A = this chain, B = another copy of it.
Amino acid sequence: MTGLSRRHLFGWAGAGAALAGVGAVAGCSATAERPALSGAESVVPFRGRHQAGIVTPAQDRLHFVALDLTTDNRERVIGLLEKWTAAAERMVAGAETTPGGAVNRNPDAPPDDTGEALGLPASSLTLTFGVGAGLIEKLGLTDRMPPGLAPLPAFTGDQLDPATSGGDLCIQACSQDPQVAVHAVRNLVRMGFGTTAVRWSQLGFGRTSSTSTAQATPRNLFGFKDGTHNVKAEDGAELDRHVWVQPGDGPAWLDGGSYLVARRIRMHIEIWDRTSLSEQERIIGRDKGEGAPLGEQSEFDLADYTATGPTGEPVIPTIAHIRLASADNLGGVRILRRGYNFVDGSDGQGHLNAGLFFIAFLRDPHAQFVPMQSALANSDDLMEYIEHTGSAVFACPAGLGEGAYWGQSLLEG
């Protein structure tokens, strides 16, 4: 080694300052609910009442990984979770996994950090941790199994591939810079060798949801604005009602946490692209340009599901996606969506393998996701253009207090 890199210096100075800052706000219960900046330099606090990466304003890029345990040794898993937590807190602050870890002092040892994020700023990285039913079973903790991890029912039209479904635990990495997100996942995966193995992994190149009123609504690969009425960081009591697990919902270790439902949704974009504009708008229930509910003027105008046209038919068709998924149609059910567009190469049949990696955070998958997805799978015309090819549910514990590690409330609570 001939000198200190920029990142190396930053690892000592900048990360120290950032970590000090984390310590200073750890006692502030609202930390994770305060929208963060989106600039490359911005650091999202790692500890707080809730995990970051849920109501944090959705970053532009995603790397999501589901892993399986390759051991049932609880102490070994705890050891990994402690190491992961320390490394995650450092990486979120823009540092290497260990101080100077990419160009360590012992040249005869492998570097602690793989190095591809050297010189890159924190880039609003968040790392969100969740456990699946498999981890709880393998570690003999079934008395602590939260009810939301009960298997989802099969939905009409599901084409789930076991290879891209399930998993004993998950890490969601979101960042403004995909290299930063990939670096984080890769280093955590690496630290897990011998204890965990990658089950599946998904990159998302573009966010499809806003989780703060400060963000413009993005577009999915059908070209429509999506999630206009998403649950957002500023929604206060609605978050407790729809997103955060409340005391009494299940075992106490998950209080203040949230369930993560992931669905890999392949979109048959070439079929959609042959559909007329008016048909596309009828299927979605919004106009394509502005994103206004049919019959309204602006994106955030409320949909009028009772309005009828000149011949008496509903202005917003009865099978329109926004009607089926609306709280009105579902007895008040809402979810926080945080999905990403993906293209995974080609499908071998002349098309792009493209779609939406759906992620939702919610208080109860069976009371929220299941009725919503049932309504969509049974009635939604959109189902002609999509195919659910992967599915997983994870329980994401509350945020960490000072000194705590990922999963501690489950493993030691």
- A residues contacting B by CB (< 8 A) are 1-5, 8, 61, 63, 65, 70, 102-104, 106-111, 113-119, 163-164, 177-179, 182, 185-186, 189-190, 193, 197-203, 205-206, 216, 219-224, 269-270, 273-278, 280-281, 287-290, 292, 296-298, 341, 343-348, 350-354
When the two chains form the complex, which single residue of B65, B108, B223, B347 contacts A276, counting CB atoms closer than 8 Å? Answer: B108
Question: Given contacts A115-B223, A186-B352, is CB(A107)–CB(B1) below 8 Å?
Answer: no
Question: Given contacts A178-B205, A288-B115, A289-B102, is CB(A2)–CB(B343) below 8 Å?
Answer: no
B350 contacts A197, C-beta separation under 8 Å: yes
Q: Which chain B residue shows the least CB distance to A292?
A: B2
Give Cα A108 to B290, complex, Å: 18
8 A-B Cβ contacts within 8 A?
A: A1-B287, A2-B290, A4-B289, A116-B341, A189-B352, A190-B269, A200-B345, A201-B346
Q: Which chain B residue shows the least CB distance to A117?
A: B219
Closest Cβ of chain B to A3, distance in Å, is 4
A182 contacts B278, C-beta separation under 8 Å: no
Beyond contacts A116-B206, A198-B350, A344-B344: 13 other A-B pairs, Cβ-Cβ < 8 A, are A3-B289, A61-B178, A102-B288, A103-B277, A114-B273, A115-B223, A115-B288, A185-B352, A186-B354, A198-B347, A199-B346, A202-B345, A203-B203
Question: Given contacts A110-B274, A216-B119, A274-B110, is CB(A1)–CB(B289) below 8 Å?
Answer: yes
Closest Cβ of chain B to A82, distance in Å, is 20
Stoichiometry (number of copies): 2
When the two chains form the complex, which single residue of B118, B178, B189, B221 contacts A289, counting CB atoms closer than 8 Å? Answer: B118
Q: For residue A200, which residues in chain B have a CB less than 8 angstroms away from its CB? A: 345-346
Q: Which chain B residue shows the least CB distance to A109?
A: B276
B277 contacts A109, C-beta separation under 8 Å: yes
Q: Which chain B residue shows the least CB distance to A220?
A: B116
Question: Given contacts A119-B216, A193-B270, A289-B1, is CB(A111)–CB(B206) below 8 Å?
Answer: no
B277 contacts A107, C-beta separation under 8 Å: yes
Q: For residue A118, which residues in chain B have a CB less than 8 angstroms away from its CB? A: 219, 223, 289
Q: Which chain B residue shows the least CB distance to A205?
A: B178
Closest Cβ of chain B to A380, distance in Å, is 20
Give Cα A150 to B203, complex, Å: 36
A269 contacts B114, C-beta separation under 8 Å: yes
B182 contacts A110, C-beta separation under 8 Å: no
When the two chains form the complex, which single residue of B8, B104, B163 contacts A277, counting CB atoms closer than 8 Å? Answer: B104
